[in-house]
Amino acid sequence: MEDLLTEAINPNTENIDEKNIEEILRIINEEDKKVAYAVEKEIPKIARVVDEIVKRIERGGRVFYVGAGTSGRLGVLDASEIPPTYGMNPEVFQGIIAGGDWALRFSVEGIEDNYEQGRKDLEEKYIKAEDVVIGIAASGRTPYVISALEYAKSKGSFTVSIVCNEDTPMEKIADITIKLLVGPEVISGSTRMKAGTAQKMVLNMISTTTMIKLGKVYNNLMVDVQILNKKLKERAKRILRITCNLSDEEAEEFLKRAKGNTKLAIVMAKTGLDYETSKKYLDKNKGKVKETLREISKE
């Protein structure tokens, strides 16, 4: 353990227990500033991962985040927010945490050492070659995650590891390893801090960029948002007002005619086409609004 960067003693936080509250907060903040720079160095690798994910999802593949403890919780968090935000089928992005749902709320630390369980949990998902399995572990040596990556590899899946140390066992398995070298934690070994923040940033980047390239975003608006409550309906109406220069009443009418589909409402409002024709063009262009509008404008 003493060889791991994430377990090292941080010289910048020695005697932190003797500082006053504001001094402690400033020390933590200074350390947190290093996270974005560590992530920035790995953008070329993150780009390769996103490119592979987009291609595989378009061919029917899925993405699995696998982790234990904080890493597992972050994976489940990111995956669970994609369906309501982007209207994506919940089967496409899935988070798997060692210990199952119980581990989301309570510590089940021993489970991360269960090598066999990582493979078993992925077996239940019927992993195939078109899938992507992303193992997340600050140490890069969690047996549960290693087992999952090895099993995914045996099935021909594209494998990724997200770690916060150099030369880890997970790096030796994965097709691509994203190394977030954020350095020693404020509190030695507390990887829910800088390491966890870096992992969350990368997962956000992966899933958000994937959704953009899959046509779930128009300009910088989440046009595939599911209208599940009043707030989300108001958001959809606002998107229509902004993109199509409509009044609130007109936005509500187009949303109704589009059967609650914001992207279809945009196409209908901008082109004057009916629901069925707009849907035909949008489906042909894989749900990408700008490509749909370009095709219609040429005809």
Marked catalytic residue, from 112, 150, 185, 252: 112
Determine the pLDDT at residue 2. 65
Same domain, 237 and 151: no
Choose the final residue of a domain: 155, 187, 213: 213
Choose the final residue of a domain: 213, 247, 262: 213
The answer as to whether 266 is a domain residue is yes
Same domain, 191 and 260: no
Residue 155 Ramachandran class (φ > 0 left, ψ -120 to 50 alpha, else beta): alpha
Marked catalytic residue, from 7, 52, 81, 234: 81
Q: d(Cα 221, Cα 66) in Å, to the nearest integer?
A: 29
Q: Which helix (H) or strand (E) holds 115?
A: helix 115-123
Residues in Cβ contact with 65 at an 8 Å cutoff, skipping those fewer than 6 apart? 72, 74, 75, 76, 78, 79, 93, 94, 95, 96, 134, 136, 203
Enclosing domain of residue 159:
5-213
Choose the final residue of a domain: 184, 213, 242: 213
Geometric angle at alpha carbon 222, from 244 and 253, rounded to 5°:
40
Same domain, 245 and 205: no
Same domain, 197 and 244: no
At 47 the three-state DSSP class reads helix
DSSP letter for 186, please: S
Same domain, 33 and 166: yes
Q: d(Cα 144, Cα 167) in Å, to the nearest integer?
A: 18
Is 112 one of the annotated active-site residues of the chain?
yes
Q: Which amino acid is present at 9?
A: I
Same domain, 157 and 266: no
Q: Which helix (H) or strand (E) holds 22?
A: helix 21-40
Is 52 one of the annotated active-site residues of the chain?
no
Residues in Cβ contact with 247 at an 8 Å cutoff, skipping those fewer than 6 apart? 241
Tens of pLDDT along the chain (299 residues)?
A: 668 999 899 999 999 999 999 999 999 999 999 999 999 999 999 999 999 999 999 999 999 999 999 999 999 999 999 998 898 999 999 999 999 999 998 887 778 888 999 999 999 999 999 999 999 999 999 999 999 999 999 999 999 999 999 999 999 999 999 999 999 999 999 999 999 999 999 999 999 999 999 999 999 999 998 888 899 899 999 999 999 999 999 999 999 999 999 999 999 999 999 999 999 999 999 999 999 999 999 87
Q: Which amino acid is present at 168?
A: T
How many structural domains does the chain have?
2
Q: d(Cα 292, Cα 223) in Å, to the nearest integer?
A: 14
Identify the CATH number of the domain in which residue 49 sits: 3.40.50.10490
Same domain, 131 and 246: no
Q: d(Cα 67, Cα 95) in Å, to the nearest integer?
A: 8
